Amino acid sequence: MPTLMGICKDYCGTCPTFKENNLRGTKPHALFCARGKTEIPEDKLVDKGCNCFDCPIYVKNELEGGWFCFHGMEGKK
Ligand code: SF4
Ligand code: SF4
């Protein structure tokens, strides 16, 4: 069974927003839907789209909003 982090790595890890902002380098690094948003200030982030909608964790848990790295566990409204 893949770990939650392993699954997130396949989706956040390949997300253009993740790469552009080097989100891996700042806490909580990944799994933003569970751990909350990145500690990088929102006005410093560049939005290049969100891969969460195809993530099995997103689908299974019926999450909403996406862009958890920007908006935390609630996702984009
Ligand atoms: S829904 Fe998004 S933040 Fe949550 S595990 Fe999947 S890719 Fe990562
Ligand atoms: S939460 Fe969405 S926008 Fe943020 S890095 Fe993950 S896939 Fe990309």
If DSSP states are collapsed to H, E and C, what string results for 9-73? HHHHHHCHHHHHCCHHHCCCCCCHHHHCCCCCCHHHCCCCCCCHHHCHHHHHCCCCCCCHHHHHH
Q: Decide: 33 in ligand 1 pocket, CB within 6 A.
A: yes
Q: Which ligand is nearest to the CA of 31?
A: 1
pLDDT band of residue 74 (cuts 50, 70, 90) is very high
User: What is the longest distance spanned by two Cα atoms in the chain?
Assistant: 37
Provide the domain count of the chain. 1
pTM for the predicted model, two decimal places: 0.96
45 CB under 6 A from ligand 1? no
pLDDT score of 1 more than 90: no
Can you give the residue range of the structural domain that contains 37? 4-74
| pLDDT one-digit tens code per residue, 20-61 | 999 999 999 999 999 999 999 999 999 999 999 999 999 999
